[in-house]
Structure 1
Amino acid sequence: MLTAEIKRRFLKFFEDQQHTVVPSASLVSEDPTVMFTIAGMVPFIPYMTGMVPAPYPRATSVQKCIRTNDIEEVGKTPRHGTFFQMGGNFSFGDYFKKEAIGFAYTFLTTPQDQGGLGFNPDDLWVTVYKDDDEAFNYWLELSDIPAERIQRLGADTNYWSAGKPGGPAGPDSEIFFDRGPAYGIDGGPATDDDRYVEIWNLVFMQYERGADNGDGTFELLGELPQKNIDTGIGLERIAFLLQGVDNMYETDQVRPVLDRAAELSGRVYGNGGEDDVRLRVVADHVRSALMLITDGVQPGNEGRGYILRRLLRRVIRNMRLLGVETATFPELFPVSMAAMKDAYPEVERDFDRISRIAYAEEQTFLRTLAQGNAIFAEAADAAKSGGLNALDGAVAFKLHDTFGFPIDLTMEMAAEAGLNVNRDKFDSLMREQVERAKADARARRGALADLSVYSAFRAMGETAFVGYTELEAQSRVIGIIANGESVTSASAGETVEIILNETSLYAESGGQDADHGSLRSAVGGFEGRVLDVQKPVQGLVAHTVEVVAGTIAVDDEVETVVDAVYRRQASEAHSATHLIHAALRDTLGPDAHQTGSYNKAGYMRLDFGWSEPLSAETRSELEEITNRAVRQDYEVITREMSLDDAKALGARALFGEKYGSVVRMVEIGGPWSRELCGGTHVANTSQIGLVNLIGESSVGATNRRVEAFVGRDAFSDFAAERALVRELTSGLRVPRDQVADRVASLVNELKQANKRIAELESAKLRDKLPELLDQAEQIGGMRVVATFLGTVAGADDVRSLALEARERLGSDAAVVAFIGEANGKPSIVVATNQAARDLGANAGAMVKVASKQLGGGGGGKPDVAQGGGQDATQHAAALTEVRDLLRSL
């Protein structure tokens, strides 16, 4: 049975049991503390905790998931995958243990010709929480599984929680498939043997979890407002069992990539060695990357982008270990797309964009590999020249951190060079980096308010936004939050969050900054300045307000007042963002899709998928198309409609955004610009006034950013440029059309003058050389010239003078160490001749110890080496280090 068919049957079964079928959410998690959607229940947590009223009593979904905490185990076990699909059925206070157990058993054991999966009950085992007599008895009542195959286990395996305080928790019951004695020992799931594959987890959510106790357990804060059911079925695990293969990597959605990788490498899969693991890693990671890019993730150096980049580079590394050093993504990604398109048609529709991003990342890393190889070669040469048998762990860490080299790749290269790697130093630096990352994550989590404080207010209903048509609105205070806790009132001088039943103030979302404005009330003489407007939970708006005068209390009537000037300018900027997006597609083609945006009064920026800088001509064309749309005075039309109808009209959605069944479509110039957007906009494009493109830059290997001033700010920027041109024409005494030529001429004259000065400085240095050589001292049978040269034109002068000095000192053992100061920073060069090297002198070693004194670093070969630093005043101490090292030989 194909994986897509398992998905179809699962959803059909629960739809027949009156469950609402909910489409998969994005792999990009809405939770700011979590990068990815890691389980099928994640999108439903607000309903389970009661923070947001559930729109349906029971639901079912097949959710796309990504987990990277076990990435090193991928390929080694039959069940660890980075991307996987989790089917789930959920009840929000509707049914509980009995029904959940009955549904699971029925679907698993119903014959395939009747719509089920056809598992034999004799192959199934069940586990329950050790104290859960209720679940144990339901299994005996509702299934044919005997008591001896229902095992009671502890909290470490059969008690589930959402992983953080405020989330749901409760006992669970897991269903396992016994693969038979050929796969391991007898004894059931309690043995924790790979023979028993977990295929379904039924979680009985009854409690709200509290803080960790420090020993792996956590406190329970009490019963949830309603008992919920969350279940998870692993489609990949079900698939490899029903398809009669040994692991998830051999299923229909993964095996084609594995086979193509084997063909490219000439390796044979199935021998049970390291090659099998590498081929599985390639197959898993290609599919995972395909799905991440589909959901809008771009390779980067942090967060989600770093995870994607790591997956892609692990593919390249494993293909290298399989003997393939050329680009392979154009061979592997189309195969993965073909395997996944039946279940996820979007991977085929969007494959041009997906493949462009993946292929560009591979080419970038192949170039990075070349750069890293050069650094590795230099470090390896220095280690061997210094008589060492191991590569410095700091070098291995730099290769990992800066160039993306996995440590095992560095170790492989070191072994080829006859070296080990100082793993202790590498591991120490890695631990420091991990601790820094954890501390940063803890700080981010600590900065977030406990969202549970909003649940009572959200239960009263959604905050109505009336600001599309009204800038002032009457409202009622339904809640006040101070320092993360609900309070009944606030007075002048306090800054609090105020929850209203409706508001005219726009909350930051969709790339648009929050409105500026105020709250006021005749009751208590209240006046409040709005500092921020956010949506802490779905459907609820929180106003951060500085109480300027009077008092405010729950149930008070207040008036929300939008700063009309700021709103107008913000709307101009947001509408301009849509125009530039459409102009980009006109100029570059449909691949230039928006990946992110930010706009506020007078300013906008837009990130879009593209891998090359825009030429000056393209930027000019982009600006002209945008302002032409402004001049054409297009009507800006907003309409609410179903998501399917909007897509049918060609409306564009932003990757990673979550849309409901009813969406708001903003149309400008008919089909020229149709986008799903909840922001505020002008009524006609002429109201934008002017768009001034001020910058275009890279924000990643496959992402570019354009920035623009809009409206009054655009005019002000042009006026400032005009004033500057006037000042230049006056100062240079040339007409405006000759300013550029005159400035270019002056710049050329300045370059020539600087070049002549540098030549004179270099000649002056060379003239001092005889005097410097006369100052040579004897150290350990070597003539040593160690001198601070003072201010020099550049580091090249120090190097050329050191090499010339070495030549003049002849064939007798000689060492030259010169330090010069260029642009306020020191530069050191050490040169040795063959006779000095025969006595043990090593230029690289001397530069290394001297550069530390200068506050920097450096190195090189034994004959000549170069370094630098930040503190030129330490030149004497640096030269002393050189002399001391020579004396120690």
Structure 2
Amino acid sequence: MPTKKYGVNELREMFLQFFESKGHLRLPSFSLIPQNDASLLLINSGMAPMKPWFTGEQEPPCHRVCTCQKCIRTGDIDNIGHTARHGTYFEMLGNFSFGDYFKHEAIAWSWEFLTSPEWVGLDPERLYPSIYEEDDEAFEIWNKEIGIPAERIFRFGKADNFWEHGSGPCGPCSEIYYDRGERYGCGRPDCTVGCDCDRYMEVWNNVFSQFNNDGEGHYTELKQKNIDTGMGLERLAVVCQDVDSLFDVDTVMNITHKVTDITGARYGETREKDVSLRVITDHIRSATFMICDGVLPSNEGRGYVLRRLLRRAARHGKLLGVNEPFLYEVCDTVIHENEGHYPELRERRDYITKVIRTEEENFARTIDGGMKIFNDLLAGHKGKGETVFSGADAFKLYDTYGFPIDLTIEMAAEQGLSVDEEAFKALMQEQKERARKAREALGDLGWAGVEFGKDVPETQFVGYDHTSVDDARVAALVVENEQAEELMPGVEAIVVLDKTPFYAEMGGQVADHGAITAPGGALFQVTDVQKNKGGKYMHYGKLTGGVLKLGDTVAAAIDVPRRKAVMRAHSATHLLDKALRAVLGDHVQQAGSLVEPDRLRFDFTHFSAMTTEELQKVEDMVNEAVLEGYEVCTDVLPIEEAKQRGAIALFGEKYGDTVRVVDMGHGYSVEFCGGTHLDNTAKVGVFHILSEFSVASGVRRIEAITGHATLACIRDNCCTINAVSEALKTKPAELVQKALQESQEIRELRHAVESFKAKEAVGEASNFLMGAREVGGLKVLTATLNDAEAERLRKMGDFLRDKDQRVVAVLSSVKDGKITFLCVCGKEAVAKGIKAGDIIKKVTSLCGGKGGGKPDSAMGGGSDVLKLDNALATVDDFVHEKLGL
């Protein structure tokens, strides 16, 4: 034991100060939500947020860093509460080197921090290092430099001392174990470091990060050698405070005390109560930090992880006799115990509490309505002597009463039954198909699944004339399909304004991007906008700073360069429609479109693929209209007047009594359109068609680019032409002629090579024939060629068959671990009943393959190369048997 029983918060600060004294930059914990890392659902280790720094993809802020990282792991969730070592939320202390120091310093500093009286002060005699079995360098450091006797240094294999967690940086590691004493041991005489009991607890893990794992088991050397130290804060506290488990350390036990105050259950009364107290304590810690970082309960992804944790905790509350929401009260204790290092917990206290309480209340209604049904269904299964809870019953509980399948599995297991999960999944899939068809039937009626009341006004769109407004009002906030009063940083949500310059995705044109800001520093980044049937513009995005409240007066500004790029593509789409009708005929009708920044996709009705000449005419016609610099005018007209002016109605659009008409060139192109456009066609820039292809029967698609995208394409093409010209040692203007000359030379060389190979094959086959064995008047031969192509075998076989009518030849080739067989039989051999197809079937079957063919020629393959010689040896016996010799 150390000289002082340090608390969790003291140990955290002590560790960070120690490594600051060693030249490390202290960084705050990263969010539990991974950034730009699709391989992780939640941050599960100290190094996970730093992968780009380890791989060398990004430059770290300092080559020595130390952190205390929040982590969530749910792989062992069913063990939570039942064991002393499992928890979903934990803090990982870490010191990291990105191409700076390596094994010597990492090992020395870990020993200094743990054993020095100035720091933790653990007894060195109770500490035991372990190393990867092949890491002799680490052994020498521990033995020679630190002075640990060889018998106290343990070598373990990859499963124990090679650290990796999914894809990313990894490498051998050296752990430090603390002997907690015999009272925590298993009692076996051979109990030592590595035993599964709780006596020897790992308190430090020095990971020598040298490799990158691509997630498929392939390892490559990292550009730089790194250090990744992982030390569980709670584990270190268990040792320092001399307590039984991570649930007994001060900050965690204080949460449990709060739970006992509410539930009346006392820790240590019964094993069942202890399990429930531990589950509640662990899960509320996880939930509080997850919500603080922006995770919200949902039915998928990390939101489902949070929902599952809260509902498991709530159910264990009911097992302790609490039938009212109570977890939201416990989260205040979690905040109090951790706000010194995580001040954002206090800042977001009200928000965290509200999320937890809402989820509790929703689940209370779910579980109250479904528990009686569950018990009835359970009694039915038990009454029949069954040990499996049916998938249909599990689905009924989920579909009708909202019981998560995990909850049903857990409750059934407590009663000794398993659940037919495969049947449940099948019923879930059927439900998804029904829901998908229902959504298709609803069309646009169900955006976001939110019903707005009459107090939420229809949004006024001012984006035709303005790119920003500074007096919009927040009319509604939506989080996870539920209306909210305010948004906190990190939350993904929908914001509805009473007026907006943001164009919502409609008519094939993508939505504007931009930002909504409010006094006090609130910043909501808009990444999508949709308009529902009620005329509300729903701005999708994420609050990256400040607090946004219902009723706030905000400024809304679109990304102007992006809008201009979209307008270039949209105006070009109208010109393309015009050109297609002119070149292909009036039968052309728009069948869909997508307009993105400087890029467009246009579907149209046409009966055949366009020729190169037709595509060139269309592209030229669009660019002529661009060069003409036609004025673009928009008017809102009665629909009949618009039709009289020749306006074309676009595919799939529904029009009212008045319509918006876009006129380019005073009649050159006139179409109904609600999208945003340029004021002059010249601003489209160069128009270029990338491709034309079929997407359905009678429907073609053109993909094209404009503006900056075209300029980039031209630049890339020029670079390619210059590079090819340089490679062929010619001028760009002479490139085609040079390429034709090179192509002709290549064809001639290939012909010469093939001719040479044919002659070589014939010569080799002649040598084989000379060594043939006489069997009953026939010439039998077998041969193996290394890496020979099938074509070469065929040429040799044709020569042998035509050269001698008595021949029976089996040729084989081994390439890339696979065998190719060819058998040929001359006319006399076939007349005597020797068929190539029969021989091939026999030899290939012996080598784990198959084949067949005609009596005079057959081919096949095999995979067992070791049996090739035995297979060829059976050919003589086969001929003997067929001839009756």
TM-score, normalising length: structure 1 = 0.50
2:337 maps to which residue? 339
1:14 maps to which residue? 19
1:591 maps to which residue? 486
Equivalent residues of 1:3, 1:236 under 8 A apart: yes
Establish whether residue 52 from structure 1 lines up as the match of residue 63 from structure 2. no
1:680 maps to which residue? 559
Q: State the 1:161 CA deviation.
A: 2.5
State, as a whole percentage, how many aligned pairs show the same letter: 39
1:593–1:338 CA distance, 2 compared to 1 (3 A): closer
Listed as ranges, the matches of 1:128-277 within 5 Å are 128-164=131-167, 167-185=168-186, 187-210=191-214, 212=216, 218-221=217-220, 223-271=221-269, 273-277=271-275
1:343–1:595 CA distance, 2 compared to 1 (3 A): closer
1:377–1:136 CA distance, 2 compared to 1 (3 A): closer
Q: State the 1:102 CA deviation.
A: 0.9
1:380–1:74 CA distance, 2 compared to 1 (3 A): closer
* CA distance in structure 2 between the partners assigned to 1:429 and 1:327 by the alignment: 33
2:90 equivalent among 70, 84, 94? 84
* CA distance in structure 2 between the partners assigned to 1:194 and 1:172 by the alignment: 21
1:339–1:678 CA distance, 2 compared to 1 (3 A): farther
The secondary structure found in structure 2 opposite 1:259 is helix
Q: State the 1:249 CA deviation.
A: 1.3
Q: State the 1:303 CA deviation.
A: 0.2
* CA distance in structure 2 between the partners assigned to 1:276 and 1:666 by the alignment: 40
The secondary structure found in structure 2 opposite 1:36 is coil
Deviations 1:493-524 (A, max 9, x none): xxxxxxxxxxxxxxxxxxxxxxxxxxxxxxxx
Equivalent residues of 1:296, 1:656 under 8 A apart: no
1:411–1:322 CA distance, 2 compared to 1 (3 A): farther
1:87–1:432 CA distance, 2 compared to 1 (3 A): farther
The secondary structure found in structure 1 opposite 2:106 is helix
1:569–1:52 CA distance, 2 compared to 1 (3 A): farther
The secondary structure found in structure 1 opposite 2:251 is coil
Q: State the 1:373 CA deviation.
A: 3.5
Listed as ranges, the matches of 1:621-700 within 5 Å are 623=498, 650-652=520-522, 680=559
Establish whether residue 426 from structure 1 lines up as the match of residue 432 from structure 2. no
Equivalent residues of 1:579, 1:673 under 8 A apart: yes
Establish whether residue 122 from structure 1 lines up as the match of residue 146 from structure 2. no
1:655–1:139 CA distance, 2 compared to 1 (3 A): farther
Q: Which amino acid aligns with 2:15?
A: F
Equivalent residues of 2:43, 2:71 under 8 A apart: yes
* CA distance in structure 2 between the partners assigned to 1:667 and 1:570 by the alignment: 29
RMSD after superposition: 4.8
1:725–1:107 CA distance, 2 compared to 1 (3 A): same
Equivalent residues of 1:581, 1:593 under 8 A apart: no
1:321 maps to which residue? 319
* CA distance in structure 2 between the partners assigned to 1:131 and 1:571 by the alignment: 70
Q: State the 1:180 CA deviation.
A: 0.5
The secondary structure found in structure 1 opposite 2:522 is coil
2:494 maps to which residue? 607
The secondary structure found in structure 1 opposite 2:498 is helix
The secondary structure found in structure 2 opposite 1:282 is helix
Pick which of 3-12 and 266-275 moved more. 266-275
* CA distance in structure 1 between the partners assigned to 2:410 and 2:76 by the alignment: 23
The secondary structure found in structure 2 opposite 1:189 is coil
* CA distance in structure 2 between the partners assigned to 1:664 and 1:284 by the alignment: 28
* CA distance in structure 1 between the partners assigned to 2:638 and 2:319 by the alignment: 56
1:103 maps to which residue? 109
Radius of gyration: which is bigger? 2
1:382–1:174 CA distance, 2 compared to 1 (3 A): closer
* CA distance in structure 1 between the partners assigned to 2:261 and 2:151 by the alignment: 47
The secondary structure found in structure 2 opposite 1:61 is strand
Listed as ranges, the matches of 1:473-622 within 5 Å are 591-593=486-488, 606-607=493-494
* CA distance in structure 2 between the partners assigned to 1:159 and 1:570 by the alignment: 60
Deviations 1:34-87 (A, max 9, x none): 111110001211111112233322111111111111111212222221111111
Equivalent residues of 1:391, 1:421 under 8 A apart: no
2:29 maps to which residue? 24
1:377–1:271 CA distance, 2 compared to 1 (3 A): closer
1:370–1:33 CA distance, 2 compared to 1 (3 A): same
Q: Which amino acid aligns with 1:37?
A: I
Equivalent residues of 2:370, 2:397 under 8 A apart: yes
Q: Which runs of 5+ in 2 are unaligned?
A: 1-5, 431-461, 503-513, 528-542, 568-631, 640-648, 660-885
- Number of residue equivalences: 506
Q: State the 1:284 CA deviation.
A: 0.5
Equivalent residues of 1:85, 1:235 under 8 A apart: yes
Equivalent residues of 1:23, 1:61 under 8 A apart: yes
Listed as ranges, the matches of 1:357-372 within 5 Å are 357-372=355-370
Deviations 1:722-764 (A, max 9, x none): 974789xxxxxxxxxxxxxxxxxxxxxxxxxxxxxxxxxxxxx
Q: State the 1:377 CA deviation.
A: 6.4
* CA distance in structure 2 between the partners assigned to 1:107 and 1:8 by the alignment: 13
Equivalent residues of 1:411, 1:421 under 8 A apart: no
2:75 equivalent among 69, 74, 94? 69
Equivalent residues of 2:474, 2:552 under 8 A apart: no
Deviations 1:770-808 (A, max 9, x none): xxxxxxxxxxxxxxxxxxxxxxxxxxxxxxxxxxxxxxx
The secondary structure found in structure 1 opposite 2:559 is coil
1:577–1:268 CA distance, 2 compared to 1 (3 A): farther
1:682–1:9 CA distance, 2 compared to 1 (3 A): same
Equivalent residues of 1:571, 1:681 under 8 A apart: no
Q: State the 1:191 CA deviation.
A: 1.8
Equivalent residues of 1:393, 1:422 under 8 A apart: no
| Higher RCO, 1 vs 2 (CA within 8 Å, ≥6 residues apart) | 1
The secondary structure found in structure 2 opposite 1:254 is helix
Listed as ranges, the matches of 1:713-862 within 5 Å are 724=656
* CA distance in structure 2 between the partners assigned to 1:228 and 1:174 by the alignment: 16
1:433–1:337 CA distance, 2 compared to 1 (3 A): farther
Q: State the 1:173 CA deviation.
A: 0.4
1:462 maps to which residue? none
Q: State the 1:399 CA deviation.
A: 2.5
TM-score, normalising length: structure 2 = 0.50
* CA distance in structure 2 between the partners assigned to 1:140 and 1:3 by the alignment: 31
* CA distance in structure 2 between the partners assigned to 1:717 and 1:4 by the alignment: 70
Equivalent residues of 1:39, 1:63 under 8 A apart: yes
* CA distance in structure 2 between the partners assigned to 1:414 and 1:667 by the alignment: 43
Listed as ranges, the matches of 1:343-492 within 5 Å are 343-373=341-371, 375-376=373-374, 379=377, 392-399=390-397, 403=401, 405=403, 410=408, 423=418, 426-429=420-423
Deviations 1:264-292 (A, max 9, x none): 33222124612111111100000100000
1:104–1:607 CA distance, 2 compared to 1 (3 A): same
Equivalent residues of 2:636, 2:658 under 8 A apart: no
Q: State the 1:354 CA deviation.
A: 0.7
* CA distance in structure 2 between the partners assigned to 1:87 and 1:2 by the alignment: 15
Establish whether residue 303 from structure 1 lines up as the match of residue 301 from structure 2. yes
